[in-house]
Amino acid sequence: MTNILLVTSSPRGTASLSSRFASETAERLKARSGATLITRDLAANPPPHITRAYIDGRVAAAEARTSDQVEAVGLAQALVDEVKAADIIVLGSGMINFGPPSQLKAWFDHITWPGVTFGYDEAGPRGLLSGKKVYLVTAAGGVFSQGEWAAFDFQTGYLRHLLGFIGLSDVEIVRVEGTVFGPEAAQAAIAATEAYLHAVLEKAA
């Protein structure tokens, strides 16, 4: 059976377009295949910023870890296990100050784990996760996919790089942008994203 992992991160709740379209993507994929769906809302339950307990604990032998290290590594292992179990990952990110939300960065800090999700060989770093499809849903009030503001999109390219670094290279990017220029522009932006997402999912059928 196909397993889908939905990760949302926007602090905007029901007003979040990244969460809306990420959830819609996951639900449509689930309905099509009868897949199981695991949801992790990083805004509702944000992972802590990584600490020394995590940094030291992840390289320590299991039997030598302190209680703080056991807790920190245990959380990271649970997050990694969710990613490993997923055949499809749907990731929602709403731009905050030109980048992803800090809770999403914290999630990546936990799952980007040397020897577990990436390693090194004679050719350099190598992602250890593969064979998974990722739908990366990004939202921004302005237009960052092209034009003069494209250089300030530190969200989409960064997230795609992090995914690729751990081996998740099959990434479909779904953008919703240009929603701050008035109600008509917002409606047009949402309609454009809906049409694009429909085409993407039809092609994946």
pLDDT per residue of the chain (205 residues) written in tens, 0 to 9: 799 999 999 999 989 999 999 999 999 999 988 899 999 999 999 999 999 999 999 999 999 999 999 999 999 999 999 999 999 999 999 999 999 999 999 999 999 999 999 999 988 899 999 999 999 999 999 999 999 999 999 999 999 999 999 999 999 999 999 999 999 999 999 999 999 999 999 887 6
Q: How far apart are CA 127 and CA 164, in angstroms?
A: 7
Provide the CATH number for the domain around residue 131.
Answer: 3.40.50.360
Q: Is 89 exposed, middle or buried (0-12, 13-18, 19+ CB in 10 A)?
A: buried
130 appears as a binding residue in the annotation: no
10 appears as a binding residue in the annotation: yes
Which residues partner with 13 through β-bridges? Answer: none
201 appears as a binding residue in the annotation: no
Domain count, the chain: 1
Cα-based angle 184, 95, 51 (whole degrees, multiple of 5): 160
18 appears as a binding residue in the annotation: yes
pTM above 0.75, yes or no: yes
Domain with 32, as residue range(s), is 3-204
